[in-house]
């Protein structure tokens, strides 16, 4: 009986144990499901963001007429642009004439591609300055496949921000986000036209903020896949707001290598406001050459920690010289705001309106001192306009690209007038002219600026030789150029 009772009890116990195990299994399975669900919910779903922002992201194609020597080899279509910026890859340039050697009146064309996004319903579009740089023709394609010829409103090379305009109404627009709320580790997406594949979406996270790459503006660093053609497209947060303009990559090969940089949208909008109003950006300057303060230097001079910007040189007659700044000074504060690194001074001063008086705190020979300085204006860039007004000519019968001399260059060269050669091609290159030469006269007419230079060259007889007075270094010489000569 005991054996039976024990056996019976054993059976009942086994049945009870089985029920308990089944119950625990159900509980564990339920717990596993509950544990898995939050992970699934945390994974980002970008579909709504793409539907929301995608219609306002555009493809920008550029065309630039290129003057080349028919005997020269074709330009390699690969890597020049990708060395630093990647929105407009250097394409194949076909020399004039066909395989039969027949003449063709059309100039060869350099084509590029980039991205942009619509700021206003009437067709104002933001992109990178390097996307539209040098373009003679801009074509904007919307996601609905409509195409428009675009006009350049303005471009600022130092910040790499540009505005273009198309003639349209009731367009979808993007929302501008708050970069201050952006956090490292936050998911972001990019929409653009890498390799001309329109409306391509890539995703990643914010890797760092305020990344200093030596440019005027700090960058947002991400691991979002960015490739040639993405330049100018938006970086978008999970609220569907634009927080940056995709601008650069870090890559030893020219292709995406896991590190991408975007211009913070708040900085870009400040530049855009000036471009829209004035066609150019006005920046402050004080006229100093600066460098980082190393730990060894900081400790050796009694500054303590490395901070601020060390003044390496002061430009003659500059605001800094007039204020009494000296080489060797270390500028540690701008209007009471500490400067952690030298780029903080550059960015801080450039954002100040010229004519404004600021106070710099400097460390000089073991003592802190306040120095008031009236900010001057940074040497303005020529407004980038599509009709070329106010800009240096890009092509002419001499094959010369020239630009105005800055005031600082005139002082250094002790010149009142002249234009600097930016590029010498065709006839001018054959005559020995090269980048950096200064053209003083054409046919005994003194050259004041690039605009006058262009007007004189436009009236030249293509069949007659032209005599230029050119300065190279400390020496001048007459150079004879045959327009159209090979």
Lowest-confidence region among 20-24, 321-325, 364-368: 20-24
Predicted pLDDT at 68: 52
User: What positions carry a catalytic annotation?
Assistant: 130, 160, 231
Mean pLDDT, all residues of the chain: 81
Question: Which residue would you say has higher pLDDT here, 317 or 28?
Answer: 317
Q: What pTM was estimated for this model as a whole?
A: 0.63
Start and end residues for every CATH 2.30.42.10 domain found in the chain:
284-377, 400-481
Does the structure show a pLDDT above 90 at 55?
yes
Predicted pLDDT at 468: 86
Predicted pLDDT at 406: 86
67 is in an annotated binding site: no
Predicted pLDDT at 91: 46
Q: What is the mean pLDDT of residues 218-247?
A: 94
Lowest-confidence region among 152-161, 257-266, 350-359, 381-390: 381-390
Predicted pLDDT at 479: 82
- The class (CATH top level) of 400-481 is mainly beta
Lowest-confidence region among 173-187, 276-290, 362-376: 276-290
Question: Which residue would you say has higher pLDDT here, 319 or 251?
Answer: 319
Tokens of 447: 């050259």
230 is in an annotated binding site: yes
CATH architecture of 284-377: Roll (2.30)
63 is in an annotated binding site: yes
Predicted pLDDT at 460: 87
Start and end residues for every CATH 2.40.10.120 domain found in the chain:
31-281
Does the structure show a pLDDT above 90 at 43?
no
| Domain 31-281, CATH | 2.40.10.120
pLDDT digits (tens, 9 = 90+) for 372-396: 999 999 876 544 444 334 444 445 7
């Amino acid at each position: 009986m005991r054996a039976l009772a024990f056996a019976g009890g054993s059976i009942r116990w086994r049945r009870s144990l089985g029920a308990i195990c089944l119950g625990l299994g159900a509980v564990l399975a339920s717990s596993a499901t509950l544990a898995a669900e939050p992970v699934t919910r945390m994974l980002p779903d970008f579909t709504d963001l793409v539907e929301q922002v995608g219609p306002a992201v555009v493809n920008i194609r550029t065309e630039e007429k290129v003057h080349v020597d028919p005997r020269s080899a074709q330009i390699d279509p690969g890597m020049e642009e990708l060395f630093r910026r990647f929105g407009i890859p250097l394409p194949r340039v076909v020399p004039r004439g066909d395989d039969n050697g027949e003449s063709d009146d059309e100039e060869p064309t350099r084509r590029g591609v980039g991205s942009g996004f619509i700021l206003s319903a009437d067709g104002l579009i933001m992109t990178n300055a390097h996307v539209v740089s040098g373009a003679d023709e801009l074509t904007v394609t919307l996601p609905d496949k409509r195409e428009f010829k675009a006009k350049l409103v303005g471009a600022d090379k130092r910040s790499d921000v540009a505005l273009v305009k198309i003639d349209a109404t009731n367009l979808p627009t993007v929302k501008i986000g708050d970069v201050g709320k952006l956090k490292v580790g936050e998911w972001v997406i990019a929409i653009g036209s890498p390799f001309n594949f329109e409306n391509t979406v890539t995703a990643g996270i914010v890797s760092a903020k305020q990344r200093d790459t030596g440019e005027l503006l700090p960058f947002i660093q991400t691991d979002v896949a960015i490739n040639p053609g993405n330049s100018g497209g938006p970086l978008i947060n999970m609220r569907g707001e634009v927080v940056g303009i995709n601008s650069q990559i870090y890559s030893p090969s020219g292709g995406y290598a896991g590190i991408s940089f975007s211009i913070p949208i708040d900085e870009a909008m400040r530049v855009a406001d000036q471009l829209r109003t004035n066609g150019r950006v006005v920046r402050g300057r004080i006229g100093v050459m600066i460098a980082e303060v190393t730990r060894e230097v900081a400790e050796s001079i009694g500054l303590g920690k490395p901070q601020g910007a060390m003044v390496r040189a002061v430009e003659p007659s500059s605001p800094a010289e007039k204020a009494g700044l000296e080489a060797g000074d270390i500028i540690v504060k701008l209007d009471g705001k500490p400067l952690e690194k030298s780029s903080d001074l550059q960015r801080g001063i450039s954002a100040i309106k010229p004519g404004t008086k600021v106070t710099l705190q400097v460390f000089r020979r073991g003592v802190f001192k306040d120095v008031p300085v009236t900010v001057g204006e940074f040497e303005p860039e020529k407004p980038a306009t599509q009709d070329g007004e106010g800009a240096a000519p890009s092509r002419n019968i001499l094959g010369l690209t020239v630009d105005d001399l800055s005031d600082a260059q005139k002082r250094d060269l002790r010149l009142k007038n002249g234009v600097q050669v930016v590029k010498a091609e065709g006839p001018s290159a054959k005559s020995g002219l090269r980048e950096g030469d200064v053209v003083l006269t054409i046919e005994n007419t003194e050259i004041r600026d690039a605009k006058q230079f262009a007007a004189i060259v436009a009236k030249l007889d293509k069949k007659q030789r032209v005599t230029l007075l050119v300065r190279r270094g400390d020496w001048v010489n007459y150079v004879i150029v045959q327009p159209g000569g090979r």
